[in-house]
């Protein structure tokens, strides 16, 4: 893995690292790799070199724009990039070339971050597995035939393989947290609306969020703060002895893989030993809100892409196309009823978790499955995809922010769920957890 982005930024700030040399070494790693073509859709060399040169000039003048000025970053291929093909992993969008950057990329560029390239992803971001036979399937760091997690598959792979310190992804139902967990990374799912989606290829506009995949909680905070236009100074870690966490006894702990169960329980044990208060309760509202997912997500996805899919259905991988088709016959009335029910359930959930610093759960119930096996069995692909998304998707519907942190077991993330717009408080807790979990 690459060093933390914040550490690269500090070296640039103290003059011990030249942004131009950092970019050069980044491309050297990429060019020497035999997996880079499966991770990056395109390398934006000309743009990156101009940005690195501009950062170098600011460095010489003592006018750096912030803590990540000069730091290379990868971008999931649904963030509009001026003059660069942005196809969202889909043959339906082949050749689509935006005339301007999306808003979040503009903010990153203004802060001095260097755009290295665009990364592969699940088709139109509608799969949690990261497998895309219509384009490329990025390799999982644990094995090339293991699913990388999606839909921000290349974003996670670009960080796990050490090319960049931050991969910018999106999360509609788990698409930052799943690849982060399966590649032993930190991922931050931000509150919907905190970071603008202007110029981001949509999937489900009511749930789409922007978030980073990286190697540390501090990197997650600083990058997300830049994207959101917030103060970048990292909050202080909250002592775990002052923290109270809730673990739900319903659904999220069911049918866990061996490593996922062990990693979660070992992490919880470490937190308890560090003085955290751990309480268990039935969050029964989860059973009810789970039933809304098959209405809300496919409906919004079909509204976004149904017309294009119907025109050329053969361009899509069948199990992903089937997920879109699931929303075709849902009526606007059914959707609105489900949406209003979800909003009422959010109130119930918020009241139940109000006194806790965070809710804890395994990020993903299972480890990364074999790509080959899933490609040979469409029914297994669809079933496995829903299992992968199960735990993460709850908190898109609840409107929460959430971190995933690596545990002692491979591909076993600890999901730490905060309150809506509670990213600063969540990071404060996450920083303390990270220190304990890394020991």
Q: Identify the active-site residue in 122, 151, 153, 412.
A: 151
Contacts of 366 (CB under 8 A, 6+ apart): 255, 256, 257, 260, 384, 387, 388
What's the distance, Cα to Cα, between the start and end of the chain in Å?
A: 18
Alpha helices in 92-175 (DSSP H): 103-110, 153-160
Block residue for tokens 């991922």: 187
Active site residue 76: yes
Active site residue 151: yes
Cis bond before residue 236 (omega within 30° of 0): no
Q: Identify the active-site residue in 76, 189, 270, 409.
A: 76
* Backbone phi, psi, residue 243, to 5°: -105, 145
Secondary structure letter of residue 202 according to DSSP: P
**Within 10 Å of residue 231's Cβ, how many Cβ atoms?**
9
Q: How far apart are CA 123 and CA 87, in angstroms?
A: 9
- β-pair partners for 406: 413
Closest CA to 427 of 393, 392, 403: 403
What the block records as the tokens of 233 is: 């100074």
Closest CA to 364 of 384, 386, 390, 383: 390
Closest CA to 195 of 162, 229, 161: 229
Q: Identify the active-site residue in 170, 175, 400, 412.
A: 175
The beta strands (E) that lie in 320-408 are given as 358-362, 402-406
For 335-347, give one letter per residue: b (16+ CB within 10 A) or e.
beebbebbeebbe
Q: Is the CB of residue 87 less than 8 Å from the CB of residue 104?
A: no
Q: How far apart are CA 129 and CA 137, in angstroms?
A: 10
Residues annotated catalytic, as ranges: 76, 151, 175
């Amino acid at each position: 893995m690459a060093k933390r982005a914040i550490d690269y930024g500090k070296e640039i700030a103290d003059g011990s690292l030249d942004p131009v040399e950092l970019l050069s070494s980044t491309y050297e790693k990429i060019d020497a790799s035999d997996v880079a073509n499966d991770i990056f859709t395109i390398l934006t060399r000309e743009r990156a070199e101009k940005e690195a040169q501009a950062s170098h000039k600011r460095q010489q003048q003592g006018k750096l724009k912030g803590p990540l000025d000069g730091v290379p970053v990868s971008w999931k291929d649904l963030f509009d990039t001026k003059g660069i093909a942005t196809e969202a992993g889909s043959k339906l969008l082949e050749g689509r070339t935006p005339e301007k950057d999306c808003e979040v990329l503009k903010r990153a560029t203004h802060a001095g971050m260097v755009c290295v390239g665009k990364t592969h992803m699940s088709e139109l971001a509608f799969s949690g597995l990261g497998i895309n036979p219509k384009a490329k399937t990025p390799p999982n760091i644990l094995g090339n035939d293991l699913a990388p997690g999606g839909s921000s598959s290349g974003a996670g792979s670009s960080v796990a393989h050490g090319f960049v310190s931050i991969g910018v992804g999106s999360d509609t139902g788990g698409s930052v947290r799943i690849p982060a967990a399966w590649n032993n990374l930190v991922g931050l799912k931000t509150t919907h609306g905190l970071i603008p989606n202007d110029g981001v290829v949509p999937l489900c506009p009511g749930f789409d969020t922007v978030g980073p995949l990286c190697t540390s909680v501090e990197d997650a905070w600083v990058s997300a703060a830049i994207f959101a236009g917030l103060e970048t100074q990292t909050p202080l870690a909250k002592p775990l002895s002052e923290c109270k966490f809730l673990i739900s006894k319903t659904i999220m702990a069911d049918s866990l893989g061996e490593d996922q169960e062990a990693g979660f329980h070992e992490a919880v044990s470490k937190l308890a030993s560090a003085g955290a208060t751990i309480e268990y309760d039935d969050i029964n509202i989860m059973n009810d809100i789970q039933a809304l997912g098959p209405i809300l997500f496919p409906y919004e996805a079909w509204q976004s892409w149904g017309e294009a899919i119907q025109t050329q259905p053969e361009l899509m991988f069948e199990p992903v196309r089937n997920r879109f088709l699931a929303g075709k016959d849902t009526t606007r009335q059914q959707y609105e009823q489900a949406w209003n029910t979800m909003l009422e359930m959010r109130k119930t959930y918020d009241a139940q978790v109000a006194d806790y610093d965070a809710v804890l759960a395994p990020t993903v119930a299972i480890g990364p499955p074999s790509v080959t096996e899933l490609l040979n069995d469409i029914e297994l692909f669809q079933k496995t995809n829903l299992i992968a998304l199960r735990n993460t998707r709850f908190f898109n519907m609840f409107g929460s922010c959430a971190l995933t942190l690596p545990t002692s077991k491979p591909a076993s993330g600890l999901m730490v769920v905060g309150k809506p717009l509670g990213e600063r408080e969540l990071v404060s807790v996450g920083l303390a957890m990270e220190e304990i979990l890394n020991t």
